[in-house]
Every structure is written in C-alpha cells, then in structure tokens.
A = this chain, B = another copy of it.
Amino acid sequence: VLYTSSNCIASDPLPSWNDGTARDAIIDFVECSTKDGCINYIDPQDRIAVFDNDGTLWSEQPVYFQLMFAIDRVKEMAKEHPEWKSEQPFQAVLENDMEELKTSGKEGLMKIMAVTHAGMSTDEFAEIVHNWITTAKHPQKNMLYKDMVYQPMLELLDYLREHEFKTYIFSGGGIEFMRVFAEEVYGIPPEQVIGSSIVTKYELQDGVPVLIRQPKIDFIDDKEGKPISINKFLGKRPVAAFGNSDGDLQMLQWTTVGKGSRFGLIVHHTDGDREWAYDRESAIGRLDKAFTEAKAKGWTIVDMKQDWKTIYPEK
C-alpha cells in the first residue's frame, strides 16, 4: 500500500477490509477527525485510540492464549515437579484433562498462575514469555500464536497511526505478558500496553535491584477496570475504543460519551470456518450486553465473515 500521512490520498488504507458499513464508518471517522477545518476535527494530542487484545487483535479460542502459555509452562516445569503427576490441578494439565481442570475452578487457576507467572524477576518472566511466543503453536491451527493476529486490525492500527492517532492496548491479559511481543507484533511500545497485573516486590539481590513477581493479583484490567486504568495510565479520555466482548463495555461507554467526535467498534466473531463463531453464549469472550448496547448506541459492529477479506497475515 502506497500510503503516506502527507497530502497524497491513499489508494486503499484498509486492503483486507471488504466494502461495507464497518469500513465506511472507520474511514469516515478517521478522515473527518483529522481534516483541518472539519466540524469533527480532533487535535493530534487528543487522538488516542484504545484496543482490547484477546478477540480484538488476536484470537482467543478455544481458551485465552495466556492460559495456553500457563499450560505449556506447567508441562515444561513438570520435569522438576514429579509430585504434580498426582496433584491437582497440575495432574489435569499434564493429562490434558480439560474437564477435570475446569472442576478445579478459580482456585485451581490461581495455583497454575502462581507457579507459572510468579516467583521470578520481571526480567526472567519476560525471557520465559519471549521463548514461548517465538516457538509455541496453536494446537488446532498449527500456527504460532503471534501469527494469529488479525490482518485487518493490523491495517487499522497502521491507518490510525498514519493519522497521528496514538494506539494503546487495555486488556484483561497480563501487562508483562503482552509487552514482550506487542511492539513487534502490533507496533505498540511497552508503555502503551496496559493489562491486568500482579504485585511485584522490590528487592536487592547482592546489591542488584530486582522486581520479584508475587502470587497476588494487583489489578484486573477488565470491565469497570478498563476505564479506571485508562484514567490512571492516560489521564485523558480516548476518542476511539475497539473491543469484542462484554469486558469492553465500560471502556466503550467511557470513550464514546466524551465531547466531540467519538468512535466505538465491536468485533463480532461470525466466521466459524476461518476463525471461530461465538457471541452471547460463549464462556470465552462473551458478547452479550455490549452487543445489545452497541446496536442501541450505533457503535460500529464488524462482522468478521462479511467484513474481512483475510483473517491472519499471509506469511
């Protein structure tokens, strides 16, 4: 695509998007809010766009990819933990018994998160995630997880940035998990990637300061947590918000109610052939209340099957 942010008009800034109301709405918003003199003009310093991650920028089925990371880690770490063979929830993980794993509930999940996400320094954790994200593959698609990002959304991120929008992630996923790959995969630098966090503890080890990850939740960046962390991390209100589930409802409310030109968008997973199809009944990425409100408030709804020419980037 020969697109520049100068006076040239792009031939097509969103080549993986089919013609339709979603594509039109995006282009209308971006063109009108960035053309000097337009009634909907937005000052460059206020051009802040916030994105959910799971299900909005990359896939999230059959379970959130960060849980797949935790499962892979348990299997890797099991070499040094022979006792896990007969200890739940680890036994269920090692035996790929997802039904048994579900019965261990939130408590079991916290045990898995504690051994896989805590007890090491922030630097060590980043290295573990880096090793995983560059090698681990999705069991059904046989693709690297980091290749299961949405090509149309990558184009949208670029399109916004070419128009001087600053792009942020606000995700229920782990802040230090996503930061490892968000810059390479999405072009979003660490300080613009915000997510759920666990408590860290400052320690001097032989005089060298380290931050040790603790098995304790600090903040859940989901639902009401999203506007709260947007306010904390940004100190100003975004003008555009992009999500896919009820976890994004409050972020979209918070963003779209502000003065001036605003944009809200929901990615609706309708493509069971190329990706997955799910909405109101799904345990992962449920889109129910936010779906209803999107329709009532006129937020843009992307129909993945209709609106996207391709799902994942071609390699």
A109 to chain B, nearest CB (A): 23
* Cα distance, A236 to B123, chains bound together (Å): 10
Q: For residue A122, which residues in chain B have a CB less than 8 angstroms away from its CB?
A: 231
A176 to chain B, nearest CB (A): 7
Given contacts A211-B227, A257-B208, contact A202 B250 (CB under 8 A): yes
A298 within 8 A of B: no
Contact of A209 among B201, B209, B227, B236 (CB under 8 A): B227
Q: For residue A232, which residues in chain B have a CB less than 8 angstroms away from its CB?
A: 175, 197, 200
Total residues of chain A contacting the partner, CB 8 A: 30
Contact of A202 among B176, B189, B224, B233 (CB under 8 A): B224
Interface pair A190/B250, CB less than 8 Å apart:
no
Interface pair A200/B233, CB less than 8 Å apart:
no
Considering the complex, which residues of chain A in the window 168-214 have a beta carbon less than 8 Å from any beta carbon of chain B? 175-176, 179, 189-191, 193, 197, 200-202, 204, 208-209, 211
A45 within 8 A of B: yes
Interface pair A211/B235, CB less than 8 Å apart:
no
Interface pair A176/B228, CB less than 8 Å apart:
no
A66 within 8 A of B: no
Q: For residue A18, which residues in chain B have a CB less than 8 angstroms away from its CB?
A: none
* Cα distance, A122 to B200, chains bound together (Å): 27
Interface pair A231/B200, CB less than 8 Å apart:
yes
Contact of A236 among B190, B204, B233, B253 (CB under 8 A): B190
* Cα distance, A126 to B234, chains bound together (Å): 14
Q: For residue A211, which residues in chain B have a CB less than 8 angstroms away from its CB?
A: 227-228, 231
A254 within 8 A of B: yes
* Cα distance, A254 to B205, chains bound together (Å): 12
Interface pair B191/A250, CB less than 8 Å apart:
no
Query: Which chain B residue shows the least CB distance to A252?
Result: B209
* Cα distance, A179 to B250, chains bound together (Å): 23
* Cα distance, A197 to B229, chains bound together (Å): 11
* Cα distance, A233 to B233, chains bound together (Å): 7
Query: Which chain B residue shows the least CB distance to A255?
Result: B209
Can you identify 30 A-B contacts, CB atoms within 8 angstroms?
A45-B189, A122-B231, A175-B232, A179-B235, A189-B235, A190-B234, A190-B235, A190-B236, A191-B233, A191-B234, A191-B235, A191-B236, A193-B235, A197-B232, A200-B228, A200-B231, A201-B224, A201-B228, A202-B224, A202-B227, A202-B228, A202-B250, A202-B254, A209-B250, A209-B253, A209-B254, A209-B257, A211-B227, A211-B228, A233-B233
6 additional A-B residue pairs with CB within 8 Å, beyond A193-B235, A209-B227: A45-B189, A191-B236, A201-B224, A209-B253, A209-B254, A211-B228
User: Lowest 6 A-B CB distances belong to which pairs?
Assistant: A190-B235, A202-B224, A179-B235, A209-B253, A209-B254, A191-B234
